[in-house]
Structure 1
Amino acid sequence: MTITPRSPRLLLLSAVVLTVLGVALLGMPHGQEPSAPEPSSTATADPSSAASAPPADDKVTVKTAPPTAPAASTPSVLESALPPHGEGVAGDRAVQQTLEAAWPSDLPAADERQLLTAGRALLRADATGVGRTRWPDVFPDSGQAVVPAFATARFRIQAAIARRDGRPNKAVVHLVWAGTDRGGTFTDLRITDLFFTRTLKKGEPTWTPQPRI
């Protein structure tokens, strides 16, 4: 079972990813359409054509609507905002840029590197079962044989950032990833938050992952 703590950060992260990518999609250039001829002052309006014509301010309404989409529409909005399936890593850069734009960096560079390295390794160990012995406090059953939830060869971290979590000695690593589960189903844009606490280890400050609850 993957580490997916229930936190408002997950909902916020999902909303930001959907909003930014949705706006980017709406901003893409479309083929120029011919302007509709201005109706004559003496012409009689056709009720049937008026009923079928889309409102003139549809595009403005979409752009100025509240950014949070209803939960029921999330899958379709997400699907339309992302690159086509099968494009692989081509769309990962956009996801990374979205995270970085949503949460500006607030950690020293050395701490951020350490957190990202640990967060990526911890997520990989959780999803694929590889490297769990490195985290005995997080995976107390790491000495036992574990059937991985996701195939190692089809697991990919699409984007990741590390940020403070309220206090200077607390941090969270936001990860967006893709993988193929045991049933052979591939899904991307999975979201996981991993929480860390800064402690002293052999006199040196280090970031330690919080055990799963």
Structure 2
Amino acid sequence: MTTTPRSPRLLLLSAVLLAVTGVALLGMPHGQEPPSAAPSPTASTTTDVSPAASRHPAGKTTGSTASSTTSAVSTPSVPESALPPHGEGLSGDRAIQRSLEAAWPADLPAADERELLTAGRALLRADATGIGRAKWPTVFPDSDQGVAPAFATARFRIQAAIARRAGSPDKAVVHLVWAGMDRGGTFTDLRITDWHFTRTTSKKGATTWTPQHRP
């Protein structure tokens, strides 16, 4: 007797439901009874399943950060189930850092990575809060004009950061996830900013990472 094989759509739906159930159980407080399992899909199920395996957290842009902040995490790809919920605080920041490092393995020498992270963090703080803009005159040419910062210093926090190569050994990107309160009083975390750098070499042979100028 020949058994009719299950359709690929049915198998995919089953796998997605099992994965979602597993994530929900892992995130459930100890001692809480799990909800009843969803019924298995049947051959008559018509729900479409997206082939994308992961989605990225959105990040809003306000004020001076509009040119540097993307609307969503583009690279690396971090599964949403691995990210903490909004407003999780410092404990959630550690989970974001681990997720970034797992999704985008290190590919720079340790010294270069430290230099890039230090510069990237300083640039983001200067861009968002206005603090330290004079150090980067080519990036912030209007730093002497008293431009009002877009975000409050007291509510600004870098949640996670990694530095990785960007297509060649002499190009790199610092990928930052951060939280802040804008001038309108809205606090949002999981904001995303990428700062791109180019490695330059002086006549004496010393190398340094220079942030790319924005148009």
Q: TM-score range by the shorter chain?
A: 0.5 to 0.7
Which is richer in helix? 1
Q: 1:91 to 1:151 in 2, by over 3 A?
A: same
For 1:41, the equivalent position in structure 2 comes to: none
1:149-189 C-alpha deviation (Å, 9 max, x unpaired):
00011000000000000111000000000000001100000
Unaligned runs of 5+ residues in structure 1 are 1-21, 36-53
For residues 200-211 of structure 1, the aligned pairs below 5 Å read 200-201=201-202, 203=204, 204-211=206-213
Q: Distance in 2 between matches of 1:29 and 1:56?
A: 22
Q: Counterpart in 1 of 2:98? A: 97
Q: Is the 8 A contact 1:25 1:81 kept in 2?
A: no
| SS at structure 2 position matched to 1:168 | coil
Bigger relative contact order (CA 8 A; separation at least 6)? 1
2:135 corresponding residue in structure 1: 134
Secondary structure at the counterpart of residue 167 of structure 1: coil
Structure 1 stretch displaced more, 202-211 or 159-168: 202-211
Q: Which protein is bigger by CA-based radius of gyration? A: 1
Q: Identify if the C-alpha distance between structure 1 residues 80 and 182 changes in structure 2 by more than 3 Å, giving closer, same or farther.
A: farther
Amino acid at match of 2:105: P
Give the conservation status (yes or no) of the 8 Å contact 2:57–2:190: no
Extract unaligned runs of 5+ from structure 2: 1-19, 59-71, 73-78
Q: Write the mapping of 1:145-156 to structure 2, written as runs, cut at 5 A.
A: 145-156=146-157
Q: Indicate conservation of the 8 Å contact 1:173/1:195, yes or no.
A: yes
Q: 1:71 to 1:171 in 2, by over 3 A?
A: closer
TM-score by length of 1: 0.68
Match of 1:67 in 2: 53
- Equivalent position amino acid for 1:28 in 2: L
Alignment correspondent of 1:195: 196
Contact in 1 for aligned 2:162/2:175 (Cα 8 Å):
yes
Q: CA deviation at 1:195?
A: 0.2
Aligned length: 169
Q: What CA distance in whole angstroms lies between the structure 2 residues aligned with 1:121 and 1:81?
A: 25
CA distance in 1, matches of 2:81, 2:34: 25
Structure 1 segments of 4 or more deviating over 3 A? 22-27, 32-35, 63-66, 68-72, 77-81
